[in-house]
Amino acid sequence: MKYFISKSLHFKIINTSLVIAKITLGIFLLLSSTVFADTDRQKLDKVVSIGGSVTEIIYELEEADRLVARDSTSTYPNAATLLPDVGYMRALSPEGILSVDPNLIIAEDGSGPQETIDLLTQASVPFVKISDGFTRQGIIQKILEVGDALGVKAKAEKVAARINDELMDAERKSNQYSGKRKKVLFILSTRGGKILASGSNTAADGIIKMAGAINAVNSFNGYKPLSDEAVTVAAPDVILMMDRRGNHGTDDEELFSMPSISTTPAAKTKSLIRMNGLYLLGFGPRTASAINELRSELYSD
């Protein structure tokens, strides 16, 4: 009888030991998988951001710690400028991007050239293109796509909802303006004495309309040179330009003395608005603020 009890107790001890061993092994495997998962996540967190608005969105999503590089148009926030610069978004070289050893590239639509994208794809680096629309809906879609690419869909949805509210409020204020709508001519460049202006389906066209004004040129899509006669016919009330420095800039006196501009209503009233290019045309998290500022400048009188 004593032997039977001892044997039974012996088996219970063995069974208990096996259970403890299984639990210990399970905990070890769980912890190991967590460590490996974290390691895998770190390996995936080597992101190159191409396009100023994409970079702004990544910062807005509080995912900037995953960035290893950015392109030359990504100048906001200031922290982004501390990252390695892989070049201009439309003239990317595969060598510059591959030098930072990325495992994900998130780029605005229009980035390239295509040869570079092809080479990066061949190097097994995921290249995600983000759509670029010049409306409130386009901005929201951009935020959601960036969030999806980063695997933070829920966070992106919250940010998108907030930005959507801000944009709707800005557009509502623009629509409430009851005075005469001003005609605005956006000038991208005056190089060589030629006016390179914005037509329809551009970021400039989109922001002008969202601010409650009229694009003075709507006979073509994109950016094209205008003849002197075309500028006269456009008869803009206001000239809108990016605030550029150095050799790319044109001062006010030089601009209004140009034959094509001097005959316009804008020249007579010296109505010229300059705004930071990325802020004005980026169509990202700060666009609602840009709309409000441009509307205020247009209708301050």
Query: What confidence score (pLDDT) does residue 198 get?
Result: 97
Burial class (CB in 10 A: 0-12, 13-18, 19+), 257: exposed
Of the residues 120, 139, 173, which one is the last residue of a structural domain? Answer: 173
CB 244 within 8 A of CB 187: no
In a domain, 21, yes or no: no
Residues 169 and 257 in one domain: no
The CA-atom distances, in angstroms, between 207 and each of 55, 108, 142, 198, 233 are 20, 18, 16, 11, 22
Q: Which domain holds residue 117?
A: 47-173
pTM above 0.95, yes or no: no
Tell whether 97 and 124 lie within a shared domain.
yes
Q: Is residue 17 part of a domain?
A: no
> Residue 36 pLDDT more than 50?
no
Kindly indicate the confidence band of residue 157, based on its pLDDT and cuts at 50, 70 and 90. Answer: very high
Q: How confident is the model at residue 224 (pLDDT cuts 50, 70, 90)?
A: very high
Q: Same domain, yes or no, for 127 and 183?
A: no
Tokens matching residue 45: 């967190």
**63 and 168 inside one domain:** yes
pLDDT in tens, 188-212: 999 888 999 999 999 999 999 999 9
Q: What is the 3-state secondary structure (H, E, C) of the chain?
A: CHHHHHHHHHHHHHHHHHHHHHHHHHHHHHHHHHHHHHHHHHHHCCEEEECHHHHHHHHHCCCHHHEEEECCCCCCCHHHHHCCECCCCCCCCHHHHHCCCCCEEEEECCCCCHHHHHHHHHCCCCEEEECCCCCHHHHHHHHHHHHHHHCCHHHHHHHHHHHHHHHHHHHHHHHCCCCCCCEEEEEEECHHHCEEEECECCHHHHHHHHCCCEECCCCCECEEEECHHHHHHHCCCEEEEECCCHHHCCCHHHHHCCHHHHCCHHHHHCCEEEECHHHHHCCCCCHHHHHHHHHHHHCCC
Please indicate, yes or no, whether residues 200 and 138 belong to a single structural domain of this protein. Answer: no
Task: Report pLDDT digits (tens) over 118-137.
Answer: 999 999 999 999 999 999 99
d(C-alpha 43, C-alpha 49), whole Å: 16
Number of domains in the chain: 2
Residues 136 and 187 placed together within one structural domain of the fold: no
- Residue burial 205-227, b: 16+ Cβ < 10 Å; e: rest: bbbbbbbbbebbbeeeeebeebe
Residue 104: count other Cβ atoms within 10 Å of its Cβ. Answer: 19
Domain boundary among 173, 189, 223: 173
Query: Is residue 3 included in any domain, yes or no?
Result: no
Tell me if 8 is assigned to some domain: no
Q: Does 55 lie in the same domain as 160?
A: yes
- Same domain for 56 and 146, yes or no, is yes
One domain for residues 184 and 166: no
- Helices 52-60 and 136-150: crossing angle, nearest 10°? 70
For residue 27, is it within any domain? no
Within-domain flag for 39: no
Distances (CA, A) of 277 to 34, 165, 197: 44, 23, 14
- According to the model, what pLDDT value does residue 4 have? 43
57 in any annotated domain: yes
User: Which of 138, 173, 208 marks a domain boundary?
Assistant: 173
Mean pLDDT, the chain, as a whole number? Answer: 88
What is the reported pLDDT for 192?
A: 87
Residue 116 and residue 232 share a domain: no
Tell me: do 115 and 206 sit in the same domain. Answer: no
Q: Is residue 23 part of a domain?
A: no
Please determine, for residue 6, whether its predicted confidence score (pLDDT) is greater than 90.
no
CATH number of the CATH domain containing 60: 3.40.50.1980
What percentage of residues in the chain have a pLDDT greater than 90?
A: 81
Are 79 and 151 contained in the same domain? Answer: yes
